[in-house]
Amino acid sequence: MPLEMAAPSLDDRIAALNERYRHHSATAVLERALGDPEVGELALVSSFGAESVVLLHLVSVVAPGTPVIFIDTQMLFAETLAYQRELAEKLNLTDLRTIRADRRDTQFEDPDGTLHQFSTDACCHLRKVVPLERALKGFAGWITGRKRFQSGTRAALEFFENEDGKRLKVNPLAHWGREDLEEYIVNNRLPRHPLVSKGYPSIGCAPCTSPVKEGEDPRAGRWRGTKKDECGIHFIDGRVVRGPLPQQDDRKENAA
């Protein structure tokens, strides 16, 4: 009786996917991820921020019924909430799921809404990480809009990643540059986040996002004055990073 071959591990599957699609376009990667039964069900997680419209539009064209998870931290700009409603209607997002932190958790851990003033990591964990983890249960993976150019921790970003051995993570825009995003938005006549024209090239929660001056890094307005540049919903090298990460210039970044 022949021996049954063991199913490939998640790492093996991801390595094969990255090798196969190394030179493919974002659309090809997205179609592969959303159309392959071996990948499993995926959700798109979107902040509806400055660059989010590109991936949202791509998904609406490739697979319009894809679940879209929007994390409402209840500390977002009013402009972000209005933009989310605008895009949901314009792109006909038929399965938009807005998630929030459990009220019992916020009442216990952040009753007066000032946790971000003392610990941005704890606030992000409460309002983003925990709700997202809950929302992703049952999904084989999720689609992100992360790109290599956004920070040092993303410089080697691949199309497919292993998220702590639990699920697949897909980054179709990993190899895109700012000029690619701009060209796509213009060519497809997509609406921009209203805060972009006011000096916000990267947009998160209102208390932790500030305008960026000319010549500054586009993400300089995120958690300004701290060494943090990740919200915590992303894993690095397959694990949640709660401590500092050494960079080439000895700067530190927290990702939890």
Written as one string, the DSSP assignment of 60-117 is HHH-TT--EEEE--S-B-HHHHHHHHHHHHHTT-TTEEEE---HHHHHHH-TTS-HHH
Phi, psi values for residue 68, rounded to 5°: -115, 120
The answer to whether 80 and 70 are in contact (CB under 8 A) is no
217: Cβ–Cβ under 8 A, 6 or more apart, which residues?
A: none
Instruction: Determine the Cα–Cα distance for residues 134 and 241; give it in Å rounded to an integer.
Output: 19
The answer to whether 165 and 10 are in contact (CB under 8 A) is yes
What are the residue numbers of the active site? Answer: 231
Instruction: Determine the Cα–Cα distance for residues 185 and 180; give it in Å rounded to an integer.
Output: 9
Instruction: Determine the Cα–Cα distance for residues 158 and 164; give it in Å rounded to an integer.
Output: 15
Phi, psi values for residue 147, rounded to 5°: -135, 155
Residue 234, both tokens = 């992303």
